[in-house]
Amino acid sequence: MHAPQVVPIVDSVAVATPKPTVYIETYGCQMNVADSELMYGKLAAHGYAPVDAPDGADVILVNTCAIRENAETRVIGRLGELRRYMKPDTIVGVTGCMAQRLGSRVLEHAKHVSLVVGPDGYSALPSLLDGARKGEKFTATDFDLEEHYEDVVARRFEGVKAWIPVQRGCDYRCTYCIVPTTRGPERSRKLPDVVREVQQVVEQGLSEVVLLGQTVNSYNDGSHDFADLLRAVGAVDGIRRVRYTSPHPNDFSDRVIEAMATTTSVCEHIHLPMQSGSTSMLKRMLRRYTREEYLECVARMRSAIPGLALTTDIIVGFPGETEDEFEDTLSLCREVRFDDAFMFKFSAREGTPATRMPEEWTIPDDVVAQRFERLVATVRGISRENNLARLGDTVEVLIEKVARDGELLQARSRDFKTVMVPADAGRIGDYLTVTLSGTTGATFTGTPVVEKNDRRTLPLTVV
């Protein structure tokens, strides 16, 4: 995708110096993917050429996640492995949430790392790299509440959709979560800046945008709220699909739901993190809503948006989780009938309030594992039933990429279902109308619907 740049020979004697190459490996959430695109953009503007493999790169950056311990363990292992791709002068940097969390501790433990840069420090990357080339080491982890990287043109690698950060940081303080520590307080980009970026995305040939924020629907730039933003982005000429992630249930005002329902390009899917179905657990998690309030939010959405698909995040084994509380989570899944869920075993994060809860509240690993399995079975079962009921429906899909088997194309419906279509059904970036003709329970196969006026192009035997 982003192959090393071939530098042309300028004349018969002088050969242009090759650009230094940069490779970025990204872990974690979509916000990190968007941040990596910003870093590539910033560095490309300073003469670096992005490459898609670490082998021999002049700069290797690892953009990290800190949300669960296993995310950090993977990065530590990977940092060791990356050593084998280094040339003597390769600079290795660690960026993102783990960099913010551990700061200079990364430099102490990984001697081949020269830079540790948190999510608000990417504008300084070119100058930090210049310093690192002289043998210096840096930790840049100050928050910058004004930083939205407005002067950087992101270098996008996803084929059909653009990730657009509209808000950085988080003002909630869920007791399990490290994000407020690693990404700082909430701040929103100005609406006209977001709209301008969306217009650029259309000029680049993309028609789908995903608006990103930690609690994206609490977006407020001082003059506009999330409802204004949805309407403004949805009205950009050439945009056919608008999605957003992740909202907080408490920030779904009727205004926001109304904007979603009446802006035709906003897709009929909401990822609505629930975390637990038990009011007492939600209280210990400091989620600031009850089971009933969550259900009420779902009901308001469903009555305003027909055919709405709902997905969620759920944590199992949070401190003090009783069998009854866990059962409440299962029963809420059955009541809402989520289309899918990301499910996580609780991971204690240093410094979060959950780590200060009584020792005896810790749930033994075997209990967590067993509950996790029950939850997965429940969620997958419901999702399968939902999907079986959809067979025969006709939907619009956008072809996103070649499927993993290399033979089919992977497409997505507006309500976020993965649909496999035949390789000759179209090209990446095309919209198609398909009938959902089969399902594995998790994904669909789609049979393209032959439009009436396409018929004449088909052999008579088929017509």
Of 13-21, 165-173, 346-354, 386-394, the segment contacting ligand 5AD by CB under 6 A is 346-354
Helix (H, G, I), strand (E, B) or coil at 197: helix
Amino acid making up residue 10:
V
What is the secondary structure of 65-121 as a DSSP string? --SSHHHHHHHHHHHHHHGGG--TT-EEEEEEHHHHHHTTHHHHH-TTEEEEE-TT-
Residue 347 binds which of ligand SF4, ligand 5AD, none (CB < 5-8 A, kind-dependent)? ligand 5AD
Question: Does the footprint of ligand SF4 cover residue 177 (CB under 6 A)?
Answer: yes
Q: Which is nearer to ligand 5AD, 113 or 281 (CB)?
A: 281
Site string for ligand 5AD, 147-176 (x = CB under 6 A): -----------------------------x
DSSP H or E stretch at residue 43: helix 30-45
Residue 346 binds which of ligand 5AD, ligand SF4, none (CB < 5-8 A, kind-dependent)? ligand 5AD
> Is the Cβ–Cβ distance between 312 and 349 less than 8 Å?
no
Question: Does the footprint of ligand SF4 cover residue 215 (CB under 6 A)?
Answer: yes
Omega of the bond leading into 246 within 30 degrees of 0 (cis): yes
**Residue from 42, 344, 399, 446 that binds ligand 5AD (CB under 6 A)?**
344
Question: Does the footprint of ligand SF4 cover residue 68 (CB under 6 A)?
Answer: no
Q: Give the C-alpha separation, 421 to 398, whole Å.
A: 10
Question: Does the footprint of ligand 5AD cover residue 349 (CB under 6 A)?
Answer: yes
Structure tokens at 301: 């959405």
Q: Give the C-alpha separation, 116 to 337, whole Å.
A: 43
Structure tokens at 226: 């999330």
Q: Which is nearer to ligand SF4, 83 or 173 (CB)?
A: 173
Question: Does the footprint of ligand 5AD cover residue 117 (CB under 6 A)?
Answer: no
Name the H helices within 290-401. Answer: 291-304, 323-336, 365-389
Residue 247 binds which of ligand SF4, ligand 5AD, none (CB < 5-8 A, kind-dependent)? none
Which parts of 313-332 interact with ligand 5AD (CB under 6 A)? 313, 315
Structure tokens at 138: 């840096």
Which parts of 239-298 interact with ligand 5AD (CB under 6 A)? 273, 275
Question: Does the footprint of ligand 5AD cover residue 68 (CB under 6 A)?
Answer: yes
Q: Which residues bind ligand SF4 (CB under 6 A)?
A: 170, 172-174, 177, 179-180, 214-215, 248
